[in-house]
């Protein structure tokens, strides 16, 4: 056999490795448990990106990999239930999304590999020991949410003339919240703004929070935690009634009436999470796979919402936007 033919054959064998390896285990498919923080509708575009990338890497659902989907629907207690269920099912890997589901998976098992598609601050919240060497059975992608808090508030100030008072909704049941509160207060102080935090524990608290902040803020900062993601329509409805411009980290709330968002592209991060899943299923250890950083940050502006609030978006800001919703 010629050297080039041998290399080609070797490459093909490598690509087919997952199917052959798992077939040797009595026909057992590699099983990935996907714990999404929202609902089926909320995350379908993200799971589709993940599955597509897995296919590109040689993992075909139903042929050499099985995927068990569970949706937390923004309820913290669901994450623990799902993580425990995945342990009972003896899945080969758990994929999580956002900080609370990742914590639930970490508490449920120290053996099954865990990949988080995004977590706001994995080091600051104690999910991993460090970005370069996460340690244990877990790795994934950092959302770098706190690192870009100041940028979001600066962008909000560009669209809200004379911004002096900022409100933040805070899910106090989320371990990531404390870090983000600190970042919002720090950025507000740097920009000479007042920042008030309004605590939320469940969806029913959203309405009363808006009553409490009425007249006390000119704009609203909303973190991308599961509780607010699932209830984004409710938050936006109250915000529009209160005539409060909203700033988010991700685009989905902007698509349903939020004013603007700036942050990492979640679809891209789910695709990159598939790369980590592929490496682990092929034998890599999560502890030795560095936590990756976002490479694509998007700015989205809802011009319809801006018009409804009587805000004029500067042309320079529109030119910088990745997408303008009209």
Tokens standing for 153? 């508030």
The pLDDT, as a whole number, for residue 14 is 40
Measured CA angle at 115 (ends 112, 116), to 5 deg = 135
At 288, give phi and psi (nearest 5°): -105, 5
Which of 271, 301, 322, 309 has its CA nearest to residue 118?
Answer: 271
Is 170:290 a contact under the CB 8 Å cutoff?
no
Is 103:77 a contact under the CB 8 Å cutoff?
no
How many Å is the Cα radius of gyration of the chain?
21
Q: How far apart are CA 311 and CA 231, in angstroms?
A: 24
Alpha helices in the chain (DSSP H): 3-15, 17-23, 40-56, 76-89, 99-108, 149-159, 177-190, 206-213, 226-230, 232-241, 252-255, 266-281, 303-308, 315-320
Measured CA angle at 174 (ends 173, 176), to 5 deg = 150
SS3 13: helix
Burial of 115 (0-12, 13-18, 19+ CB in 10 A): buried
Is 277:91 a contact under the CB 8 Å cutoff?
no
Q: What is the DSSP string of 259-306?
A: -EEEEE-HHHHHHHHHHHHHHHHTT--GGGSPPBPP--EEEEEEHHHH
The pLDDT, as a whole number, for residue 20 is 41
Is 227:233 a contact under the CB 8 Å cutoff?
no
Note the pTM of the prediction, 2 decimals: 0.84
The pLDDT profile of the chain, 326 residues, written as one tens digit per residue, is 444 443 334 444 344 344 444 443 546 899 999 999 888 988 899 999 999 999 999 999 999 999 999 999 888 889 999 999 999 999 999 999 988 899 999 999 999 999 999 987 899 889 999 999 999 999 999 987 667 889 999 999 999 989 999 999 999 887 778 888 888 999 999 999 999 999 999 999 999 999 999 899 999 999 988 899 999 999 999 999 999 999 999 999 999 999 999 999 999 999 999 999 999 999 999 999 999 998 889 999 999 999 999 999 999 999 999 999 99
The pLDDT, as a whole number, for residue 224 is 85
Burial of 121 (0-12, 13-18, 19+ CB in 10 A): buried
Q: Which domains occur in the chain, in start order?
A: 3-143+265-295 (3.40.50.2300), 146-264+298-325 (3.40.50.2300)
Which of 126, 165, 120 has its CA nearest to residue 144?
Answer: 120
What does DSSP assign to residue 58?
A: T
């Amino acid at each position: 056999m010629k050297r080039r033919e041998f290399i080609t054959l070797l490459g093909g064998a490598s690509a087919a490795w997952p199917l052959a390896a798992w077939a040797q285990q009595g026909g057992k498919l590699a099983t990935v448990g996907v714990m999404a923080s929202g609902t089926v509708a909320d995350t379908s575009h993200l799971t589709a990106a993940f599955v597509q990338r897995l296919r590109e890497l040689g993992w075909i659902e139903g042929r050499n990999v099985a995927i068990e989907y569970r949706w937390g629907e923004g309820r913290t207690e669901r994450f623990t239930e799902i993580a425990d269920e995945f342990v009972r099912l003896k899945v080969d890997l758990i994929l999580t999304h956002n900080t609370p589901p990742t914590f639930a998976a970490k508490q449920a098992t120290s053996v099954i590999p865990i990949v988080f598609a995004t977590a706001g601050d994995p080091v600051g919240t104690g999910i991993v020991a460090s970005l370069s060497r996460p340690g244990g059975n877990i790795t994934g992608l950092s959302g770098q949410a706190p690192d870009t808090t100041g940028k979001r508030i600066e962008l909000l100030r560009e669209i809200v003339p004379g911004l002096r008072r900022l409100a933040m909704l805070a899910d106090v049941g989320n371990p990531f919240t404390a870090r983000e509160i600190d970042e919002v207060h720090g950025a507000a102080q740097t920009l000479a703004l007042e920042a008030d935090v309004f605590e939320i524990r469940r969806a029913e608290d959203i309405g009363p929070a808006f009553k409490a902040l009425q007249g006390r803020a000119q704009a609203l900062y909303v973190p991308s935690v599961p509780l607010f993601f699932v209830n984004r329509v409710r938050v936006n409805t109250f915000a529009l009634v209160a005539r409060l411009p909203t700033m988010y980290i991700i685009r989905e709330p902007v698509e349903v009436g939020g004013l603007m968002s700036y942050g990492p592209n979640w679809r891209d991060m789910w695709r990159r999470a598939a790369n980590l899943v592929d490496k682990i299923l092929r034998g890599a250890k999560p502890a030795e796979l560095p936590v990756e950083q976002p490479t694509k940050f998007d700015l989205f502006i809802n011009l319809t919402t801006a018009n409804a609030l009587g805000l004029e978006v500067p042309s320079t800001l529109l030119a910088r936007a990745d997408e303008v919703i009209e």
